[in-house]
Amino acid sequence: MSINNIPKSIQKNCQTFLACEADFTEAEIVLFGAPYDSTTSNRPGARFGSAAIRAESFGLETYSPYQDRDLTERAICDCGDLELPFGDSAQTLAAIEQHAGQILAAGKLPFMLGGEHLLTLGTVRAAAQRHPDLCLLHFDAHTDLREAYLGVSLSHASVIRRCWEILGDKRIYQFGIRSGERYEFAWAASGHTQLQKFDFTGLEQALAECADKPVYFTLDLDVLDPGVFPGTGTPEPGGVSFLQLMQAAVQVCRQANVIACDVMELAPHYDQSGISTAAACKIVREMLLAL
């Protein structure tokens, strides 16, 4: 056998999210994984989220009967997982900010797969630097508005508060929230963010308000009911259904001017059945198709 006709099968293994096989230069959207969960205060393991989503995506079809679109028609690059230093949140956020910044600088949409929710701060920093009028759409079970958690200001429980320090009042829209301290809800209600408890009521209105602005869309998957998404650090009973989330996420990705986004907080080890990863995969597919 001559070296020139090596079959394609005899080559190094490249694993990507389902059908996201474009090269960076040709891609419109650039997926990357961010395996870090050092500030998780309850059950760690979100570090395994992005790898699980990538590995299990082969169980999905590329075609969505919901949107009648197919991933094979899109140009998406999956550039794998970053290598992040566990236990050093400042360095980790800097690495993510730089990475997302490079993607944005190339005119592409960065799509981060978490990892814990703190990491959103890195991509929001990168996005806000290029888009000073950035709005933040936030789906989550938790307020994430603490000043700090046990003295740690770079915490998953404080990430939206940190984003607010960058974006300012009336730029953050929160949906599905069903857990937090009393003072966090009060702080939001005093005009800092627009917080919708429990569900997506008011999403249409929020999208209208952001219509002419760049939007960062951050999705903490624990907004889902634990019945369909048990694999997360802090399951909160009473969440939205998969179809509710899928419709809302598709609506955001279709109607808003999303310039960056993320899907966070899958911790697959807490779900032996794999349905949490399956849900994450399908949400990512639908968002990629809708963007």
Which residues 130-159 are close enough to bind its own copies by CB under 8 A? 149-152, 154-155
Find out whether 136 and 172 touch, Cβ atoms under 8 Å.
yes
**In the complex, what is the shortest distance from the CB of residue 212 to its own copies, in angstroms, rounded to a whole number?**
27
- Give the ranges where 169-274 is alpha helix by DSSP (H): 182-187, 203-209, 242-255
**In the complex, what is the shortest distance from the CB of residue 208 to its own copies, in angstroms, rounded to a whole number?**
25
Q: How many residues make contact with its own copies (CB under 8 A)?
A: 99
Q: Any contact of residue 246 with its own copies (CB under 8 A)?
A: yes
Find out whether 249 and 283 touch, Cβ atoms under 8 Å.
yes
| Closer residue to its own copies in complex, CB, 91/257 | 91
Any idea which residue has 């949140």 for tokens?
A: 89
Site string for its own copies, 202-241 (x = CB under 8 A): -----------------------xxxx-xx--xxxxx---
- Contacts of 164-172 with C-beta under 8 Å, sequence gap 24+, read 164/192, 164/193, 166/124, 166/125, 166/128, 167/124, 167/128, 167/134, 167/135, 167/136, 169/193, 170/194, 171/134, 171/135, 171/136, 172/135, 172/136, 172/138
Which region among 48-56, 125-133, 202-210, 249-257 touches its own copies (by CB under 8 A)? 48-56
Q: Give the Å distances, CA to CA, from 214 to 35, 111, 115, 161.
A: 26, 15, 24, 19
Site string for its own copies, 95-134 (x = CB under 8 A): ----x--xx-xx-----------x----------------
C-alpha 127/C-alpha 107 separation (Å) is 12
Any idea which residue has 């907080």 for tokens?
A: 265
By CB under 8 A, the residues from 15 to 34 that bind its own copies are: 15-16, 21, 23-25, 30, 32
Which region among 43-51, 124-132, 213-221, 254-262 touches its own copies (by CB under 8 A)? 43-51
**In the complex, what is the shortest distance from the CB of residue 55 to its own copies, in angstroms, rounded to a whole number?**
7
For 191, other C-beta atoms within 10 Å of its C-beta total 9
Rg (CA), the chain: 18
Q: Any contact of residue 180 with its own copies (CB under 8 A)?
A: yes
C-alpha 55/C-alpha 58 separation (Å) is 7
Candidate list 131, 185, 202, 251; residue touching its own copies; CB under 8 A: 185
Any idea which residue has 């857990």 for tokens?
A: 179
Q: Any contact of residue 12 with its own copies (CB under 8 A)?
A: yes
By CB under 8 A, the residues from 55 to 84 that bind its own copies are: 55, 59-63, 65-66, 68, 70, 77-84
**In the complex, what is the shortest distance from the CB of residue 244 to its own copies, in angstroms, rounded to a whole number?**
10
By CB under 8 A, the residues from 256 to 275 that bind its own copies are: 269-275
Candidate list 57, 123, 174, 179; residue touching its own copies; CB under 8 A: 179
Which region among 54-62, 125-133, 201-209, 249-257 touches its own copies (by CB under 8 A)? 54-62
